[in-house]
Structure 1
């Protein structure tokens, strides 16, 4: 009897447990289903585009909380009025007459019409900055390559007024030029800061007309990336020291100022680095001529209209262009000498001739500067003034010699020789 009662109790509890489990599953399923329905409803509600519209708008412009008179803005405002666009105009030959079989010139009645007009058209545009005002004249510094080949020059002032300009002087070695304009409409004149005092990381602004006067007075901001980079400048390959900056410099910026945050001109923008691959430009690497160099050159251009520098009176080739066999058999150089310039000709009565230099001498040093090629020789030579002496180190028939150059001769370096054999 007890066994029967116990079995009944066990079955009863088992039924209770089964019913409980079944009820739990059903309840859980219902809860899960309800929860899914709620989530689906919320998703549909949150993504559905609301009906109706707010026809009254309601959005407004808030007060500008940015500092509109920051350091960069003040620097730009202080010099912006002195920045100009420079227009290079050149003659375009235009013939008039009837178009014949061989082009213009044969009129229908058989008479030759040789009349022609020389029309001036814009060949290129660049930038410049007004740095001096004296009486009725104002002076603009720009790049030599901006004005090169011009038949006429014009300057567009910051207020948009266009005035004619005269070329005072230009220097191809440093790529600088000075223009003179009427000062009547000139209100702002820029000042130069000491480029020897700049440091990498310093904030700078570049101002000019990138891509032409349509974008005149464009300002870009960057830093001094390097204080002293040595590059080949001008058309004669002379090595020169320049400022590197990451401020955006594009075609048309040439000749414009690079300024510090006090609004002082610390450089004249001159070039942008281009890669060897299809001449593509490299972003963030631009160069400016240091202001200390600029001031030295433009003062001489104002005074003399040109720059005169010492000249050796030789023609030369880089030693690297001479085969190793010729270096041994003709020049008889020791194997330790691999860089320098080879004298190919010496002008009679020149500085080099007076010092005793001869054809096939290999110059390896001028003063304290190692000579590696024609550019480095010119850079070293141009540090001297006419009338000074300079020590030259050279090799002749395998032996090293030294001589003293009396730099009594000078040459106008605005004219250059682009041939493979350099002259100096």
Structure 2
């Protein structure tokens, strides 16, 4: 083959390779399997063009190792499985520490049905209290209303305790859980709290084969690898594991009119994941998956924005729920925003001094609330609470959760160019 012919052949092969690769990429937008097949065909074409006829005339098995890899050939064109293949990684070990502790949570509600007789009576003004049992056959039956996830975290006094989201079991007439083994058993609601969106369930401890442990969420860093475990779209996909990274260890959101500090992650979290654990590489639960952002205010689709309740707050809440069945939460009566989450434009618009880098900006003071009675004003910046620096909502919440209604909290506040101290008598949340 002349040099000119060789150039023409290489140009043709490169064109075919590029075309195959483009087909693979386009197909990838429609389905990963097709994309893989297309790219694989491109790689085969490339190998054939570079190997020439020697690939088809080899009469013995050999391996030629170069700087970028190795080429193995066989006389019969057969291959085998490499038994030394690594079958586990860091997150596999982490998953194994929680896999049998994760459960699916089933919310059952009553639905009623009435016969045509009862409908006829109601048309003429007679209620369901008619003393004729034959004329009214209104029935109530338990129906599966929704599914979520949960995680078993401890056992005590013959009970296994499960943490999940409040919205997962909200309004339930009966709650059941599906264990990792596939067995469905009854569960009892120990306590629930709408403000934090947390709830605790209990089951007979004889069914518990593994419990998960909590890690320190305050030690989380952006970029840290995590996995989310749960039952997205229901128990049919129980024990689904998705991996992502921590985008923000402490993001402030408003949920049902209440401020929450959450962990933001891009691990896939879908309907049914609610109540399941967010797990670090040590196999520790560092958050309870609670919600995701699926679309922006303008209606644009959003991907990779899931949120979990930090484990440190979870532990504080569920311990109180187990002890008291409910949360009596002292509050200041303010809505705040962490300064380090506000960009320079918003700070300027709100009149916040550029010299202030840390603290909580008071965006709203509830009229007649505890802070209002103590003299706090909109625009104040809370720097400390009881002498402790507060740079995020979670820190302030933890300080308040360790106080009782009626306790007094000393707040160091920046108001304009002055630093003042305000003492607030905490009131019960409403």
CA contact (8 A) 1:225 1:245 kept: yes
Task: After TM superposition, list the pairs within 5 Å mapping 1:331-410 onto structure 2.
Answer: 340-341=363-364, 343-344=366-367, 351=370, 355=373, 363-365=378-380, 367-368=382-383, 383-384=399-400, 385-386=403-404, 387-391=407-411, 404-407=423-426, 409-410=427-428
Q: CA deviation at 1:58?
A: 8.0
- Does 1:141 find its partner at 2:178? no
1:236 to 257, 277, 287: 257
1:85 to 73, 94, 104: 104
Q: CA deviation at 1:298?
A: 0.8
| TM-score, structure 1 as length reference | 0.64
1:180 to 195, 199, 202: 202
The two structures, once aligned, show a CA RMSD in angstroms of 3.9
- Does 1:128 find its partner at 2:128? no
Counterparts in 2 of 1:144 and 1:283: CA distance versus 1, 3 Å: same
Structure ranking higher on relative contact order (CA contacts 8 Å, 6+ apart): 1
Task: After TM superposition, list the pairs within 5 Å mapping 1:150-299 onto structure 2.
Answer: 150-233=172-255, 235-238=256-259, 240-276=260-296, 282-299=302-319
Q: CA deviation at 1:303?
A: 1.0
Q: Summarize deviations over 1:72-101 as a string: whole Å, max 9, x none.
A: 212112210000000011111222344867
Structure 1: tracts of 5 or more residues without a match: 1-31, 33-45, 47-56, 319-334, 371-375, 412-423
| TM-score, structure 2 as length reference | 0.63
The separation in 2 between residues aligned to 1:287 and 1:377, in whole angstroms, is 15
Q: CA deviation at 1:113?
A: 2.5
Secondary structure, counterpart of 1:282 in structure 2: coil
- Residue 114 of structure 1 corresponds to 136
Structure 2: tracts of 5 or more residues without a match: 6-48, 50-75, 127-131, 337-349, 353-360, 386-391
The separation in 1 between residues aligned to 2:80 and 2:118, in whole angstroms, is 64
Q: CA deviation at 1:379?
A: 9.3
The separation in 2 between residues aligned to 1:317 and 1:226, in whole angstroms, is 21
Counterparts in 2 of 1:280 and 1:153: CA distance versus 1, 3 Å: farther
Secondary structure, counterpart of 1:298 in structure 2: helix
Secondary structure, counterpart of 1:184 in structure 2: helix
Secondary structure, counterpart of 1:76 in structure 2: helix
Work out which of the two has the higher radius of gyration on C-alpha atoms and give 1 or 2: 1
- Residue 85 of structure 2 corresponds to 66
Q: Summarize deviations over 1:304-340 as a string: whole Å, max 9, x none.
A: 111112246x8x999xxxxxxxxxxxxxxxx969974
CA contact (8 A) 1:310 1:381 kept: no
Counterparts in 2 of 1:311 and 1:258: CA distance versus 1, 3 Å: closer
CA contact (8 A) 2:384 2:412 kept: no
Counterparts in 2 of 1:401 and 1:368: CA distance versus 1, 3 Å: closer
The separation in 1 between residues aligned to 2:93 and 2:351, in whole angstroms, is 56
- Residue 327 of structure 2 corresponds to 307
Secondary structure, counterpart of 1:283 in structure 2: coil
